[in-house]
Amino acid sequence: MNKPTGMLKKRLAALLPGAFVFFGAHAAQTNDLQVTELASGLKNPWGMVFLPEGDVLVTERAGAIRRFSFNDGLSEPLTNVPKVDAVNQGGMLDIAIDPDYTTNNTIYFCYSKAGDGGRSSAVAKAKLNGQALSDVSTIFVANPLVDNGFHFGCRLAFDADKHLYITLGDRYKYMDEAQNTDNHLGKIVRINTDGSVPATNPFAKGKAPEVFTYGHRNVQGLTIHPQSGAVWSMEHGPKGGDEINVLENGSNYGWPVITYGIDYSGEIISDKTEQEGMEQPWLYWDPSIAPSGMAFYTGTAFKDWEGDLLVGSLKFTHLRRIEIDNGKPGKQHEYLRDQAARIRDVEVGPDGLIYLLTDAPDGKLLQLSPPK
């Protein structure tokens, strides 16, 4: 990669304190890990979550949810799963379990749902009973519905107060709506487990009371910091400008008024990288790495990684580890790039090992452990 010149230098110089850019050529290539293939034959797996008993629920974008057991392997698709509208980037996407799962057996999943005028990101909850779902109910549908198959977002995470966060994309052709807090396009929303709106939401009395933050493009990473409890998100920029953000209630993250990326055609989306009232990213990448799935490492298997941020890259087919130094991004490392697998999701298991999903028609569930 060439050194940053021209407009890119100008954008780098425009960074506010606390925001960092990373140029991919500086990442360390490392493959000193043990990789175990736990399951294959998954149809574009997208999200996963560990159950307390140790099994893993995995979604397939085509519409299925499957269960992986370390004793019995990969199950057939669960039954009573609602129909999804799997068009382009849409389908069965992320999955999460209730904070009180051990007493209520409730799971949540985000998927593209068809309706009058198009399709939208929707979240349903259900009881999990072995290989079947029951009491399935929809608790959120993003508004408005849009007649295309792009930028659904759909990552899920629970905070310590049992609020559910849902990431939503700008649906590609409607990027200006990311600045309009009267709808859900380009937003991250926050709801209670029954779909109701927390009274502390910043726009609780508005037309889209679920909105928590706005000015996002297509957020495909979401996680909770294990110490601070802060909500961290990661979104795809256009051509350049992928971002990691630390979310604050009611904050505006700028898209498309400010951005470190340009259009795929080479046209300038905005000549601004900062503006009063809009947040700077904690980190951004140029060129884009197409990030998807993120998790903080907590465990003892990789002792030197404690507190680091793990990120999957679709474009450059690797797992990326970002060291964190006094709250700021430090050195970045790449793993598994030689396997040429698009990393769609990243989770840290209860055993402290790292689990990945590869995005392909013959997708895999991989386990990473330290070298023997």
What are the structure tokens assigned to 183, written together?
């709808």
The whole-angstrom separation of Cα 49 and Cα 235 is 20
Instruction: Determine whether 333 is an active site residue.
Output: no
The answer to whether the beta carbons of residues 44 and 61 sit under 8 Å apart is: yes
Catalytic residue, from 26, 151, 163, 236: name it: 151
355 forms beta bridges with: 347, 367
| CA dist 68 → 116, 245, 267, 362 (Å) | 35, 32, 45, 16
Q: What share of the chain is helix, strand, coil (3-state, %, to 5)?
A: 5, 40, 50
User: What distance in Å separates the CA atoms of residue 138 and residue 146, rounded to the nearest whole number?
Assistant: 18
DSSP 154: -
Where do we find the tokens 């989306």? 269
Q: Return the beta strands (E) in 156-313 as ranges.
A: 156-158, 164-167, 187-191, 211-214, 219-224, 231-235, 242-246, 283-285, 291-296, 309-313
| Cα separation, 336 vs 284, whole angstroms | 22
Show which residues are catalytic: 151
